[in-house]
Amino acid sequence: MSSNTKIFKMWSLYPFISRDISVWAKEGDEEALKKVITENAGDLVAKGPYLIDSFQKDGKVSYAFRIVFQSYERTLTDEEINAIMNRVTEALKKEPTWQVR
């Protein structure tokens, strides 16, 4: 196959769940935040994290990210996604200059 060959991947028949998370951080920390979120969000992430909003105030930047979770095998529950988001939040809190909103 050539590098231009397109391969179709079936979409999931199960619904997605999206969650947003906002963090106060230093300007320029966007990629570091994405990395921590990605490393802790697990295998159910279908899209993201991607930046949906940012604004500056008092020398800090608030970064808001959206993460979309979806399974190809089953419907996800709020409880399991909330547990994942708690893990993400705890990982973000380990950086002393970041504050989860």
Q: How far apart are CA 98 and CA 75, in angstroms?
A: 33
Tell me the H-state helices in 1-101: 30-41, 78-93
- Confidence category of residue 7, pLDDT binned at 50, 70, 90: confident
Based on its alpha-carbon atoms, the radius of gyration of the chain, rounded to whole angstroms, reads 16
Domains plus CATH for the chain?
A: 17-100 (3.30.70.380)
| pLDDT (tens digit per residue) in 11-57 | 888 999 999 999 999 999 999 999 999 999 999 999 999 999 999 99
Query: What pLDDT is attached to residue 8?
Result: 77
Two structure tokens written together for 99:
């504050």
Q: How far apart are CA 53 and CA 79, in angstroms?
A: 26
Two structure tokens written together for 4:
């231009």
Query: What pLDDT is attached to residue 53?
Result: 97
The residue-averaged pLDDT of 64-87 equals 96
